[in-house]
């Protein structure tokens, strides 16, 4: 698929991508449009075997990358299936007292690439990103490592990609988009560190039925809300889709299959493990049991206002999942080669600021642009991409780390401040 005739300047370049997450799929789309022979190797046996989250806040970093990489029909489908933008960002106490309110930017077009400021259903976005990549995404084929020919740092060598199933693939460029535990990063930058911040998030989803809508405090109906409850916090985000994914696909790109989705409220109860009333070992055991995680979330907010408790009570308990907050330590510059990394594989960050997916997509757009600029100098293009990515990527890690710390603090003023910075862009 794609439109190779338009700018097939990378015709014949063989690219292997490790990981069919948001960054890897976006990159594959952009490279395919540019004429590359791209293949994505994904560890999971299929696209929907793990819970990966529901609502994703996206901004212009994602908008511009998606516009660059996706064929126009898929970009239109993305815009049609976004959620309606938040109108207001509110900080509440656990007794529903409004501590701070910020109005959203009403002037800019929230769905245009350069001013994007909305949210999406993650599964829908991932399905759109996979549109037209049939035969190019290989599920159940984890990347275990790689080796390079002696000339691989020049434009003559090649990379041998070692797969966990014993297979091998040869490529002119390998991109590790294989997430926070990246096998490619471990081989490429063995000293790069990712630390566990100790923060734990219990994520859940409550369908937006009439009963739930009636229960929703007015602030939660307006979009994104943070509840400050001492050592435990909660973030909520409403997802009201502009158009049902399945009908939008039928109208705009009938060759893409989108799973039906309904409106819902995403919530995340955040705290250190001990504040959830369990130690980390027990939390690890509980992570395989969504109903136990749901019980822990309910218990963590048991003294809160009944309307807030009701929203968690009415959730789809079996959809609850645990996220351990991890954060990458900045890495000093390294020599570019025919192997590189993007997204969480290099700059994993706290979800507190809603920046990880935006940055992963931005990486994909920047790498595609760099390769198109110098099609005959792959290593040079990788070097320019990495230099730019290190700067904005690790800045985003630091901003998210601070936001995470401030979310956990009792001071609502500081929390309001990061909310303001996050949304007043």
Rg (CA), the chain: 21
Q: Cβ of residue 152: shortest distance to ligand FAD, in angstroms? A: 20
Of 60, 9, 47, the residue nearest 31 (C-alpha): 9
Residue number, 33 or 200, with CB nearest to ligand FAD: 200
Region 11-50 residues binding ligand FAD, contact defined as CB under 6 A: 18-24, 41-44
Stretch that binds ligand FAD, among 66-74, 326-334, 351-359, 402-410 (CB under 6 A): 351-359
Q: Cβ of residue 337: shortest distance to ligand FAD, in angstroms? A: 19
Region 45-84 residues binding ligand FAD, contact defined as CB under 6 A: 53, 56-57
Give the chain's end-to-end CA distance (angstroms, integer): 34
Residue number, 194 or 360, with CB nearest to ligand FAD: 360
Of 50, 108, 154, the residue nearest 383 (C-alpha): 154
Of 315, 310, 311, 398, the residue nearest 349 (C-alpha): 398
Contact residue for ligand FAD among 75, 89, 203, 264 (CB under 6 A): 203
Q: What are phi and psi of 88, to 5 degrees?
A: -155, 145
Of 241, 15, 251, the residue nearest 133 (C-alpha): 15
What single-letter DSSP state applies at residue 330? P
Angle formed at CA 43 by CA 37 and CA 45, multiple of 5 degrees: 100
Contact residue for ligand FAD among 71, 85, 199, 354 (CB under 6 A): 354
Stretch that binds ligand FAD, among 150-158, 173-181, 242-250, 312-320 (CB under 6 A): 173-181
Residue number, 161 or 215, with CB nearest to ligand FAD: 161
Of 177, 182, 130, the residue nearest 15 (C-alpha): 177
Region 104-163 residues binding ligand FAD, contact defined as CB under 6 A: 142-143
Region 315-334 residues binding ligand FAD, contact defined as CB under 6 A: 323
Contact by Cβ (8 Å): 131, 256 = yes
Residue 59 host element (H or E): strand 55-59
Those residues whose C-beta lies under 8 Å from the C-beta of residue 198, and which sit 6 or more positions away, are: 272, 273, 325
What single-letter DSSP state applies at residue 394? H
Q: How far apart are CA 243 and CA 213, in angstroms?
A: 19
Q: How far apart are CA 48 and CA 41, in angstroms?
A: 15
Of 69, 117, 155, the residue nearest 374 (C-alpha): 155
Residue number, 338 or 422, with CB nearest to ligand FAD: 422
Stretch that binds ligand FAD, among 149-157, 218-226, 326-334, 337-345 (CB under 6 A): 337-345
Q: Cβ of residue 239: shortest distance to ligand FAD, in angstroms? A: 11
Q: Check residue 178 for interaction with ligand FAD (CB under 6 A).
A: yes
Number of residues that bind ligand FAD (CB under 6 A): 32
Tell me the pairing of strands 194-207 and 321-328. Answer: antiparallel
Q: Cβ of residue 122: shortest distance to ligand FAD, in angstroms? A: 7
Kindly write out the interface string for residues 274-313 of this chain, putting x where it contacts ligand FAD by CB under 6 A and - elsewhere: ----------------------------------------
Stretch that binds ligand FAD, among 207-215, 228-236, 284-292, 352-360 (CB under 6 A): 352-360
Stretch that binds ligand FAD, among 109-117, 211-219, 298-306, 340-348 (CB under 6 A): 340-348
Contact by Cβ (8 Å): 101, 423 = no
Q: Cβ of residue 240: shortest distance to ligand FAD, in angstroms? A: 16
Residues that bind ligand FAD (CB under 6 A): 18-24, 41-44, 53, 56-57, 142-143, 177-179, 183, 203, 323, 343-345, 351, 354-358, 360
């Amino acid at each position: 698929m794609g439109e190779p005739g338009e700018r097939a300047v990378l015709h014949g370049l063989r690219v292997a991508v490790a990981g069919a997450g948001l960054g890897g799929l976006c990159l594959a789309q952009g490279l395919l449009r540019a004429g590359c022979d791209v293949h994505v190797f994904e560890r999971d046996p299929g696209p929907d075997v793990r819970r990966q989250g529901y609502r994703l806040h996206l901004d212009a970093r994602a908008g511009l990358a998606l516009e660059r990489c996706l064929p126009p029909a898929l970009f239109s489908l993305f815009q049609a299936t976004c959620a309606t933008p938040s109108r207001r960002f509110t900080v509440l106490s656990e007794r529903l007292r409004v501590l701070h309110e910020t109005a959203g930017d009403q002037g800019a077009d929230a769905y245009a690439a350069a001013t994007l400021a909305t949210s999406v259903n993650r599964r829908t976005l991932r399905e759109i990103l996979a549109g037209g990549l049939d035969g190019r995404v290989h599920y159940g084929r984890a990347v275990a490592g790689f080796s390079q020919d002696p000339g691989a740092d020049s434009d003559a060598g090649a990379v041998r990609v070692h797969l966990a199933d014993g297979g091998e693939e040869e490529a002119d460029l390998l991109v590790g988009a294989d997430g926070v535990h990246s096998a490619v990063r471990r081989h490429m930058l063995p000293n790069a560190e990712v630390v566990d911040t100790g923060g734990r998030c219990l994520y859940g989803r409550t369908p937006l039925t009439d009963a739930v809508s009636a229960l929703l405090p007015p602030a939660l109906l307006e979009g994104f809300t943070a509840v400050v409850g001492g050592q435990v916090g909660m973030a909520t985000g409403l997802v009201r889709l502009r158009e049902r994914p399945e009908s939008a696909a039928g109208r705009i790109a009938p060759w893409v299959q989108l799973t039906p989705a309904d409106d819902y409220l995403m919530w995340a109860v955040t705290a250190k493990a001990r504040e959830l009333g369990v130690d980390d070992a027990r939390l690890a055991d509980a992570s395989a049991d969504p109903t136990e995680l749901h019980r822990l979330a309910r218990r963590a907010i048991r003294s809160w206002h009944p309307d807030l408790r009701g929203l968690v009570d009415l959730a789809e308990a079996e959809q609850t999942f645990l996220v351990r907050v991890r954060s990458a330590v900045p890495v000093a510059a390294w020599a570019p080669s025919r192997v590189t990394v993007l997204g969480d594989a290099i700059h994993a960050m706290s979800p507190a600021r809603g920046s990880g997916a935006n940055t992963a997509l931005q990486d994909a757009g920047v790498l595609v642009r760099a390769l198109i600029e110098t099609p005959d100098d792959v290593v040079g293009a990788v070097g320019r991409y990495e230099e730019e990515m290190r700067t904005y990527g690790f800045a985003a890690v630091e901003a998210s780390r601070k936001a995470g710390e401030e979310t956990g603090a009792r001071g609502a003023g500081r929390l309001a401040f990061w909310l303001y910075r996050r949304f007043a862009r």
